Structure 1
Amino acid sequence: MAEEKDTLQEEQNKQPFDGEEPTEEIFGEAEEEAVEASETNEADAKISELEQKLEEAENRYLRLQADFDNSRRRSKLDREAADKYRSQSLITDLLPAIDNFERALQMEADSEQAKSMQQGMEMVYRSLIEALKKEGAEQIESVGKEFDPHIHQAVMQVEDENFASNTVVEEFQKGYMLKDRVIRPAMVKVTQ
């Protein structure tokens, strides 16, 4: 057996050298695999980076879309509120004139001329009240109702056995609401 090994080694030594050693072939394949693995890792890294950028862009897009929808909804609500309460400023300006008409109508007319003047003022007063109603403004009913701080402004408190506690006894100035908003609270006297 030892003879066979020697002959094999002699034959290998006798074979002409072709420039490649078997170990270089093994190292070349390993080097190629390492380069391919490195390129694969770089490609995977780029893919994950691009996926992350795409996800960030999609999130940004969704946030912008939500902001736009919210803005559009807010502007719609603002327009609706502006339409609903468009006459509030005019009504607020007319309320002192209506109060003056009410005071003038409470005066006693002692002559025919004063009575006809009072009738004319009453017609104008009713026209103003009708115009307010068309716009959605209404007088707040107070006397005999329970005191509500949202629609009443208490200026006096009295003890009255004819009324239950916390009830409006007298109204000094009428209050007005425009649709569901209080324009001016009613000034009232309340029981304790």
Structure 2
Amino acid sequence: MLKVFATRLASCNASALRQAAAQIFLLESDMARNVEGALRVDGEAIEAVDVHPLGRVMIVAGPEVAALRIALHVAACAAAGNSVSLALTTTPNEQTRELIDNLRALGFDALDWASPDADGRWTALPDDLQVAILTSTHLTVENQRPVSCPGDCAESHSRAALIRLYSGLLSYRVPIIVCAPADCS
């Protein structure tokens, strides 16, 4: 799905969306490596970290968020395995409108929550929906502290960081106890 999204954005009129396409191609190419868990062993314990999707996520983009940033966050959220929808708090500019048209063509929900007829929509959100508030510099996912996030996905570490923003982590630590055979029972 990300490859199709990137291909559609690559043919857009807006240069910011073509730039997003190039970065989404990179995101798609190394996606699997970035979302796997890890197993670490040291002399005292075994630690397992499991990465999992958040589930259903609605990204709510503030008025100052550029189309490039929105596109990258939607792609990263989908790359993390989430079901993604997008809500805008202001009327979209031409670039953002083109992005929304491409998202809708791929089956994403993109909602205009800034219009006067949006009254009451916030009360109808499903309980299992995670709301992510995106600004020009930060992301706040429901029940978490705001975090600074990369402005692009040009580098592999920034792609991994974006995917992790839309992932949950479970960490397990099991202590290693070493004893002589006669002492263990």
Task: Name the TM-score, length of structure 1 as normaliser.
Answer: 0.24
Structure number with greater Rg is: 1
Task: Name the TM-score, length of structure 2 as normaliser.
Answer: 0.25
More strand by share: 2
More helix by share: 1
